[in-house]
Amino acid sequence: MMNFQEKSVLITGGSRGIGKAIALAFAESGAQVAINFVNDNEEASKTIRQMPHSERHIAIKADIGVPSSAQQLVQSVVKEFGQLDILINNAGVYIHHPIDQCTYEQWQNAWRKTMQINLFGVANLCFCAAQQMIQQGNGRIVNISSRGAFRGEPEHAAYGASKAGLNQLSQSLAQALAKYNIFVGVVAPGFVETDMTKNILNGKQGEAIKQQSPLGRVARPEEIAKAVLFLSSEGIDYMTGAILDVNGASYLRN
């Protein structure tokens, strides 16, 4: 098991799904964890209770799409823990807006909301976290992207574009922040089995989605969490800027 004793971690979208799996994995590895959520206080509290030494961890409500909220989120973690060693940008939205079926207003709204949360919010959190990490002299940032950044998302174009932008943001920051001993990585999952995707996987498209991978299944949240912890670990500094594909060979890029 990886050791994150004396490390403080902020995970956005950490109350459920992939974020919850990441939060539990960090807590089990000794880290002090802050999970961010937007609406479901009950679910966030439940996740905190499931963590080992639950009294060490906190849940913070904040909409990362609002610049002032992103800044306050980082400030709250630093105030509570005294430092911020690792930032995991997991929160995101996935809005259905096929260009041949939606109105112009729906198209604009989908792009606006998606970019505000998936890209601008992440960029703001990276900025705020980096200021703290520069003062500390070290830190790690891991951003959750998607295979959709490479293969395209025909019915979720804004999502695919936001994740492609996130990849470039991450690699730019990897170059900019290396001199401060701050390392940036990306995990790009394929389809993942979570509470939010169960209906799709149990529906008409479910089997076809599973067969996209030669493994005949989709990813488990715990598999994504292991990749995130790996990129957050010490001793792999030369991997800064790397994008790890965790999609079960469902999409292979050159």
Place of tokens 């490390």: 7
Tokens of 253: 């890029």
Given the residues 94, 159, 238, 251, select the one marked as catalytic: 159
pLDDT of residue 198: 87
Q: Which pTM value belongs to this model?
A: 0.97
Please name which of 81, 80, 24 lies closest in space to residue 51, comparing C-alpha atoms.
24
Regions in the chain scoring below 70 on pLDDT: 1
Whole-number Å distance between alpha carbons of 121 and 162? 11
Give the side-chain half-sphere CA count within 13 A for 109. Answer: 8
pLDDT of residue 202: 92
pLDDT of residue 195: 84
Query: Among this protein's residues, is 159 annotated catalytic?
Result: yes
153: Cβ–Cβ under 8 A, 6 or more apart, which residues? 159, 160
The per-residue pLDDT for range 8-53, each reduced to its tens digit, is: 999 999 999 999 999 999 999 999 999 999 999 999 999 999 999 9
CATH topology of domain 8-246: Rossmann fold (3.40.50)
Please name which of 196, 101, 83, 92 lies closest in space to residue 148, comparing C-alpha atoms.
92
pLDDT of residue 1: 62
> Do 160 and 202 touch, CB atoms closer than 8 A?
no
Three-class SS state of 83: coil
